[in-house]
Chain A
């Protein structure tokens, strides 16, 4: 285990539902990330938080709403999603010190299916 956990691991939701994905890191890192992983596409960076402040939002539709209440927890709130939003959503964390040992640690992902 890499110290990053995600719940739920699988989620099926209708287009009118509201759900939330949760990510927790136990590594004492300062930065947390949400990625979307679709088949045959590069990982798409969605959001970056540094010390609980959102520092990047890569043109993600407003139906995805992130929340970072503290440096250990990250949420992705989902509302009125579309079928094309079905994907594996990965959370990651990093120290963000910029040093040579800097790297990202990933959670296991939440497999989302939107019907």
Chain B
């Protein structure tokens, strides 16, 4: 079974600085998708960035980028020029096939990011 591990329960970063959130996963599949979701306090969980495992190029979305190391099964999220609005819980997720053609999303325990002014 696939597992997702986020070893940092909490991280802090100074405003305008860069922070990296760690995620490792375990799978025997060769083709899969990885995601980072953001859950601000009392707000909806939203997708930050996704990575297809078959792509070697790391995904980027504005200030957010990933470091995808397939052999090491590592998928870290880098946030550049951190802003106060980046403060949230960040969840790493792995997508695998479920039953009857559906897809299962397996989430890590999350990392709470604090942004210091």
Contacts and interface: CB of A to CB of B under 8 A. Distances in A.
Interface of A: 1-2, 4, 31, 33, 40-43, 45, 48, 50, 53, 55-56, 90, 92, 94, 96, 98, 100, 102-109
Contacts of A103: 35, 47, 50
A8 B44 CA distance: 14
B103 A102 contact: yes
Contacts of B106: 42, 45
Query: DSSP majority for the B interface?
Result: strand
A48 B44 contact: no
Given A102-B33, A103-B35, 5 more contacts: A31-B103, A50-B101, A56-B98, A90-B45, A100-B33
Contact of B99 (A2, A55, A98, A100): A55
B102 A40 contact: no
Given A40-B9, A106-B44, A45 B103 contact: no
Interface in B1-53: 4, 9, 33, 35, 37, 43-47, 50, 52
Given A40-B9, A48-B98, A96 B103 contact: yes
A113 to B, nearest CB: 15
Contacts, number: 67
Contact of B102 (A31, A90, A100, A109): A31
A41 B103 CA distance: 21
12 contacts: A4-B44, A40-B9, A40-B109, A41-B109, A43-B105, A45-B105, A55-B99, A56-B104, A90-B45, A96-B101, A96-B103, A106-B37
A48 B102 contact: yes
Contact of B4 (A42, A55, A92): A42
Given A56-B99, A103-B35, A42 B108 contact: yes
B56 interface: no
Contacts of B110: 42
Nearest to B100: A55
